[in-house]
Structure 1
Amino acid sequence: MSQPIKIQKEDIIRIRFPKSEVLPNPIAVRERDRNLENALSLGNNDHVKVKLTFLDFDNNTFMIETTIWAVTEESVCLKGDLLLPKRSLVSVEY
């Protein structure tokens, strides 16, 4: 994975996301889901920002720093009605 390009969360509306899961196996997906739930708690309770690293359709790596407002089966919900597909997330750091 290349060095991520840091962008503002509002810039994700211009990104085309991959159609399939970017993580290599179900164990990595479960770990990401646990990290997202922890990041959601940190955001809701302590207003902590997290770093979300994700891939676009062309496998470019991007990173945003944001507070997670909600997590659904398919998406991560961010402030300003922005959605980031979970399938595109490579890592969650807090």
Structure 2
Amino acid sequence: MKAELIEKEEVVNLKFLDAPKGEVTVEAEKLNGAVRLGNEFKSKAYITFQTDQGPKKIETTVWSVTESFLQIKNDVLIPIKSLIDIQY
């Protein structure tokens, strides 16, 4: 299923679900690369994640990553278990 590209400001209005097991391509290396890209080079990544409205995609800077969450602008947190893909 193709992800709908949305504005990052819309993320706060979404309910996250676990990503479908067979579609997840996010690994620790990708997460750390996205953080480095954002913090050192001020570059953005495309983040695809699962919601109750289907897969969504945003283009944004990744500020930080913890064991459970990916943080973007304005302290918005996206659960790691919802991530489908990160591209940069």
Query: What TM-score, normalized by structure 2, do the two folds share?
Result: 0.88
The sequence identity of aligned pairs, in percent, is 32
The CA deviation string for residues 13-58 of structure 1, in whole angstroms up to 9 with x for no partner, is 111111xx42537xx9795221010110011110110000111135
- Pair 1:40-2:21 in alignment: no
> Residues 22 and 5 of structure 1: is their aligned pair in 2 closer, same or farther, counting only changes over 3 Å?
same
- 8 Å CA contact 1:40–1:69 kept in 2: the answer is yes
**Within-5 A mapping of 1:11-90:** 11-18=10-17, 21-22=18-19, 24=21, 31-58=26-53, 60-90=54-84
Which AA in structure 2 matches 1:90?
I
Q: Tell me the number of residue pairs that the alignment of Structure 1 and Structure 2 aligns.
A: 88
Could you tell me whether the CA contact under 8 Å between 2:68 and 2:80 is conserved in 1? yes
Q: Distance in 1 between matches of 2:77 and 2:28?
A: 16
Gaps in structure 1 of 5+ consecutive residues: none
Specify the code of the residue in structure 2 equivalent to 1:78. I
Match of 1:48, SS state, is coil
TM-score (norm 1): 0.83
**Counterpart Cα distance in 2 of 1:92 and 1:23:** 15
Distance in 2 (alpha carbons) for counterparts of 1:24 and 1:17: 15
For 2:36 and 2:59, how far apart are their aligned partners in 1?
Answer: 16
